[in-house]
Structure 1
């Protein structure tokens, strides 16, 4: 199990959002490999289920926006999806990649030395979906290297009941009244708050309860324009990090987030795994 609270020792986990997706196709081997090369110890990927029950690594429920295909993934068998290739959302002229089965991506990341955040995107009934995830994590030797995340805190509670040793992350868009109570209700190990809703009191409450703090931030271009108008969020973010309020920074641009952590005088942590 890797340390989810590196802020206690002046370190921060650099996490690639869908890999190093700013320069390529999200949720693909090249984006994951590049994230590792740039200094990420952890990457977030997304899960969808096909009509015939295969879990694939893809963000959207439809294929139209980020692949050469069209239609709902849930209405297609894996054999149909395997013929498609990814497509960059920003129309970068780069080679398309396969939409891969979850189990293949797990083995690839294990061999890269990457830990993962696996975000469950689908709505489902019963426990079979979660049982498949747990089984594949164990088969790939990635159970202890993975956080399961969701916006659906009932899903997080249920997978924890199914596999008590698993670690989970709740995704939060809000400034919660009682962050620690919310985290406890789902037995989550980490809570992520997206920019710009992050606030110090959220982190303080979570840390007091032993829950790690993750913060998603957009790429640097977003902040550059606002800084020219006199709003410098990155200066605030640096102060939060020096106060030890953040354990993990998540961004599409791994190179920038690693440089930013270093520029704050902190250290991007390298996760170590047994075996």
Structure 2
């Protein structure tokens, strides 16, 4: 049995964070991809590993570690080499955790709303109302989220609020990069807050929300620097982007690029 087993899903933004850290550290791991639409994350065997019924979950020597932000820091403490993703001073570690808290509370949940409306909604529309409600009721952490979405999608008010949260997060990132001197959020080194924010910005770029930083070149430079990291491509293997899984999104992206 592998020392590290990662239960994840290719398009899951939280899974992408953890894959990046594992790849960047050169840690060998077995990846078990869960089919979230098939309900793999709600099966008893997986709930025994992660009672929250979400991905990712990391099993290290038979012991589960859950919550992507926790897993990222766990791995960085366990394997500080070749390059630590945490600063050395306690004050900077506190700043790092504050940034991560903001990322987890504002842009990370916000990106789910346009993602569901644009990509995942057709799947739920194939269900009967009874099937959909039963699915929502089975979700330990996502029940209210799905019930708010319903089988017709998030209403305009919810969508606008999510887009506003994303725009504010982009502005906050731009200001943070400017204050640190860049190119990353805490200055020259890549740190855990950058990795935490990475899947959100990559998703925004993938679903045509990159206009939010068209007047903020530091964000594009930040994204280019992340993409140049050796861990990026193994993390975002084919099928990890929504446009690679959903042809209608790929077509829309091409049309808007003209």
Give the TM-score normalised by structure 2.
Answer: 0.31
Give the TM-score normalised by structure 1.
Answer: 0.30
Whichever structure has more helix as a proportion of its residues is: 2
Whichever structure has more strand as a proportion of its residues is: 1
